[in-house]
Homo-oligomer: A and B are copies of this chain.
């Protein structure tokens, strides 16, 4: 449940939710749920405790969470958060994703090509400055003005602190926070298990429970060529957590839509999710057939294939949730109550009353051009590179606040770090991806659409993709740098077919984006800010914002549940993985690695392996540490169960659960299976 490109592309609109239900909430660390924790659990987090949690939490540029777990900069996350790096660091002869890795000493740790880690260091409310002067503007103009203000704020802050500074839109515009991050780019691989135990059960058991997954990977952060000595880190719990014990999750949930209007949810149900899923099903089949052609194809496509399967299962669960009339009628009832309360008073009506109809209108407009997204070929790594180069030439000469947001000064260093990554480009996969993207464009827009004709340039999708990949020099990092250094002159005169294609498509892509920003996004900002205002007034201000891939705190007890009349225990044990492997006799996803088969007699089979708890999480929380009241690591979030997938729209803890690897299971596996004694000592002190 890492956020992946394909899922994150579902627009990251943050909204606010009410804390109606049990242990619901993805709380800002600046507004922790103090009252609930005190009254329900008798726990009061101190400032120091919160600061330690905040500064030990890590955000991964690949779309997940992690934490610093030693005083030599050791970082723990999930194997499936690390998998993109493991794939990039693999070659035909060294398959780190499949075979795992364990560094014998620090000198053996392997540098990652383009992994950036962020640690949230400072938080500042900048709402008034962002909104200054926008009151009487049109939605589109206000949007532009806010974007410009945000760029200025970020740039000033960055020049002052030297940190990575980002203004985050919370409560969809009711609040803007400036987040300043410490950024680390020298990150090295310390330990990863084999994929078959990290992702035991494969797609079949993904999002299911009980589970038996060693979904963990350790990296080490370096600074100036030496292991980082962090100001804060998390200690390892000696005893782990027990059933019904309260625990906390600190991580970076990606996107929730808890307070979408009913019409907006229907747009998601009837347009957005069906379109995304149709793309995902298509891609899953294509990647599977590509992989089946030979072993090397399977290796290079493994990471994309897993990402697609993961997205398919997550979005299928979301769609099922939206097609359940019970959830939709709950939403409709709550919305009707709020609207009735607003309309009962003339002032309230004047302030907030138009929001729902404005939003419905924006969604209708969005539905009418949603299919034009098919013009984007950015699932191809090479096309994405070409488009960045084309746009950098256009954007960088402008003042930072007037650029497309990803080219603002605050983000440029991170963008260049990705753009000039030495990670290998796989030509066969690129051809396949471009062919798929070109054909998808034609399937969606029709073969006679002018943009399709422009993209295909008189060839079929397969022949065109081959021509583009064979002809481009962009697989080479030095070529990219040369084009970037040449600016708009280099773009205008380049004969690289992918540069030419990106330059040809860019006007249509920009037009689509402007249309979205001006007729949908800007209206949503204002509409949801109004609804937020009404909700604050109606329900009080004990509310948390929808997820925005920024640091949040969740909490709840470790807890079993009932399913189809059966009791599902909270914990599984290490021994269980051998039973499940035997029951599924080594079918796809259920084959144990040799290391585990050999270690079978050494492993203490009673040690807890995975557990479930009630904390409110979502994609992006993968790799989040689970800590006890003392702030010690007791587990590692790696999944939610099927019933948690509808948490995208509404939290419900009847059956929905967050799924973790137990800290004790990690240590037992490191000791008994991998003999990684130095790593265990670094974690536990023993």
Min distance, Cβ A329 to any Cβ of chain B, angstroms:
10
Interface size, chain A (Cβ < 8 Å): 42
Min distance, Cβ A436 to any Cβ of chain B, angstroms:
11
Closest to A439 in B: B323
Closest to A583 in B: B294
Closest to A325 in B: B458
Q: This chain: how many copies in the complex?
A: 2
Complexed CA–CA distance, A512 and B274 (Å): 23
CB of B270 within 8 A of CB of A447, answer yes
Q: Which of B319, B325, B460, B587 contacts A459 (CB 8 A)?
A: B325
Which residues does chain B contribute within 8 Å of A325, judged by CB atoms? 456, 458-460
A134 close to chain B: CB less than 8 A: no
A569 close to chain B: CB less than 8 A: no
Chain A residues 310 to 363 lying within 8 A of chain B, measured CB to CB, are 312, 319-320, 322-325, 328
Q: Which of B203, B293, B444, B456 contacts A292 (CB 8 A)?
A: B203
Which residues does chain B contribute within 8 Å of A456, judged by CB atoms? 323, 325
Complexed CA–CA distance, A447 and B322 (Å): 9
Which residues does chain B contribute within 8 Å of A405, judged by CB atoms? none
Which residues does chain B contribute within 8 Å of A240, judged by CB atoms? none
Which residues does chain B contribute within 8 Å of A269, judged by CB atoms? 442, 446-447
Q: Which of A125-133, A221-229, A279-287, A515-523 contacts B (4 or more CB under 8 A)?
A: A279-287
A289 close to chain B: CB less than 8 A: yes
Which residues does chain B contribute within 8 Å of A328, judged by CB atoms? 447
CB of A323 within 8 A of CB of B447, answer yes
A108 close to chain B: CB less than 8 A: no
A64 close to chain B: CB less than 8 A: no
A238 close to chain B: CB less than 8 A: no
Closest to A293 in B: B204
CB of B588 within 8 A of CB of A292, answer yes
Min distance, Cβ A244 to any Cβ of chain B, angstroms:
31
Which residues does chain B contribute within 8 Å of A289, judged by CB atoms? 203-204
Min distance, Cβ A659 to any Cβ of chain B, angstroms:
19
Which residues does chain B contribute within 8 Å of A293, judged by CB atoms? 204
Digit string of A286-298 for contact with B (CB within 8 Å is 1, else 0)?
Answer: 0001001100000
Min distance, Cβ A450 to any Cβ of chain B, angstroms:
14
Which residues does chain B contribute within 8 Å of A665, judged by CB atoms? none
Closest to A443 in B: B274
Which residues does chain B contribute within 8 Å of A415, judged by CB atoms? none
- The 5 A-B residue pairs with the shortest CB-CB distance in the complex, in nearest-first order: A274-B443, A270-B446, A324-B460, A281-B281, A281-B282
User: Can you list 26 contacts pairing A with B, beta carbon distance less than 8 Å?
Assistant: A202-B292, A203-B292, A204-B289, A204-B292, A266-B446, A266-B447, A266-B448, A269-B446, A270-B446, A270-B447, A270-B448, A274-B443, A278-B281, A281-B281, A281-B282, A284-B285, A285-B285, A292-B587, A292-B589, A320-B439, A320-B461, A320-B462, A323-B439, A323-B442, A323-B460, A325-B456
